[in-house]
Structure 1
Amino acid sequence: MSQVTPEVLWAQRSSNAEPEKNFIYLTISVPDVPKENLKLDLQPTGLTFTGHSETLKRTYHLELTFYAEIDPAESKVHHTDRNVELKLRKKELNDEYWPRLLKDSKKVQFLKTDFDKWVDEDEQNEAPEDDFSQFGGMGGMPGMGGAGGDFGGIDFSKLGAAGGMPGGDEEDDESDDDMPALEGEEETKEEAKEGAKEEKDATKAAA
């Protein structure tokens, strides 16, 4: 029986201070592979996965070599009837994202970005953590309250900046409003002249 390479979706987060927010999120799409039929070997430098589906008569096999090292002891695996989800703790704390998942820069067809989980590097502090609730024991969860306070600060500063805007807008609006009003008046006068002319013509015609 031939082996099939499963589709893999990935996303990531990074932090140079909080290990639990410095991870790779990996989803291996292997429908109908029961837990007893899969073998996952997770190493610091990569992983090897083999899974067999009786219903689909298919054997999945995957070997990945990561761009940088992970910490298998701090990584988590969650199995569902549709896929195997992994939350791989990056070994090195770093604010910067990995430029790619794999060591080899060559593009592979089976690997895709998980857009449901992906956030841009500079927006990740605002990303919800509940995407990863199925892993349990999320160290980052209780701290979200503090982060929420920070967001409030950001919002207030935006509001503060926006607060200065209406004054400028009002001045612009006044100057803008004057112009269309003048144009409008001219048009109105022209239309009035045209209307009077048409009325005269109509009166003459009726006479």
Structure 2
Amino acid sequence: MSATVSTPEVLWAQRSSATEAAKNFIYLTISVPDCPPSALKLDLKPTGLSFQGHSDSLKRSYAVELEFFAEIDEKESKIHHTPKSVELVLRKKELKEEFWPRLLKDSKKVHFLKTDFDKWVDEDEQDEAPEDDMANMGGMGGMPGMGDMSSMMGGAGGDFGGIDFSKLGGAGMEGLGEDAEDDDDDEEMPGLDGEDEEEGEAPAKIQEIK
């Protein structure tokens, strides 16, 4: 493991619902390519997560800690490991129609956190948005939820701490690399209103061009 530890790029988007828990979640992507399960650890808790991983191709170690704006239900959240990233669907604990104003509890902007424009929809356009396979777990090869993972964590201690992906295997990874977020995509996006979109703030409504 190299002496220098970098912060990975983190992309996020969200959906909300006051009545349906399955439609009340956060999309989160931690972009670390070629990180084998044996070199990846994720500690997911109701208030946040910590991630550590090592990229074989980049010969670099990564780490990040996030404290969420509000609590999530880790038992109903989903995790998927691809060749380019770690993808999560985090179930918001509180059923609420309004979007979270930001991902993190601290309003201070951080350079590594960006809006995932491929998954983002405006709050008032959620009903028209297409259903996402990852959110519904369709086509994911029966990927377990956090509750099911507890039986595969071996000696990991307390509150889903220290999930070791070497225990989870690599099922369902083939063919998913094409869907992973390209690191340069956000840099090529035209600017919207301010720079909030690049640093984790919920973006202002995007006007549709007719």
> Into which bin does the TM-score normalised by the smaller protein fall?
0.5 to 0.7
In the alignment, does 2:40 pair up with 1:38?
Answer: yes
Query: Per-residue CA shift, 1:158-203, capped at 9, x if unaligned?
Result: xxxxxxxxxxxxxxxxxxxxxxxxxxxxxxxxxxxxxxxxxxxxxx
Q: CA deviation at 1:137?
A: 8.3
Q: 2:16 aligns with which of 14, 25, 30?
A: 14
Q: CA deviation at 1:133?
A: 6.1
Structure number with bigger Rg: 1
Amino acid aligned to 2:105: K
Alpha-carbon contact 2:33-2:57 (below 8 Å) kept: no
Q: What secondary structure is seen at the aligned counterpart in 2 of 1:36? A: helix
What CA distance in whole angstroms lies between the structure 2 residues aligned with 1:134 and 1:74? Answer: 12
**Greater shift in the superposed pair: 121-130 or 101-110:** 121-130
Runs of 4+ in structure 1 over 6 Å off: none
Q: CA deviation at 1:131?
A: 4.9
Amino acid aligned to 1:78: H
What CA distance in whole angstroms lies between the structure 2 residues aligned with 1:53 and 1:10? Answer: 21
What CA distance in whole angstroms lies between the structure 2 residues aligned with 1:88 and 1:58? Answer: 27
When the two chains are superposed, the root-mean-square deviation of aligned CA atoms in Å is: 1.6
Query: Per-residue CA shift, 1:80-127, capped at 9, x if unaligned?
Result: 000000000000000000000000000100000000000000001111
What CA distance in whole angstroms lies between the structure 2 residues aligned with 1:59 and 1:39? Answer: 12
Structure number with greater CO (CA < 8 Å, separation at least 6) is 2
Alpha-carbon contact 2:89-2:135 (below 8 Å) kept: no
Identity level (%): 72
The aligned residue for residue 55 of structure 1 is 57
Amino acid aligned to 2:23: K
Amino acid aligned to 2:84: R
Q: CA deviation at 1:132?
A: 2.5
Q: What secondary structure is seen at the aligned counterpart in 1 of 2:75? A: helix
Query: Per-residue CA shift, 1:117-147, capped at 9, x if unaligned?
Result: 0000000111111352683389xxxxxxxxx
Q: 2:102 aligns with which of 91, 100, 103?
A: 100
What CA distance in whole angstroms lies between the structure 2 residues aligned with 1:137 and 1:8? Answer: 24
**TM-score normalised by structure 1 residue count:** 0.64
CA shift in 2, pair 1:95/1:101, >3 Å: same
Amino acid aligned to 2:52: T
What CA distance in whole angstroms lies between the structure 2 residues aligned with 1:29 and 1:56? Answer: 12
Q: 2:66 aligns with which of 64, 67, 73?
A: 64
Query: Structure 1: where are the runs of 5+ without partners?
Result: 139-207
Q: What secondary structure is seen at the aligned counterpart in 2 of 1:8? A: strand
Q: What secondary structure is seen at the aligned counterpart in 2 of 1:132? A: helix
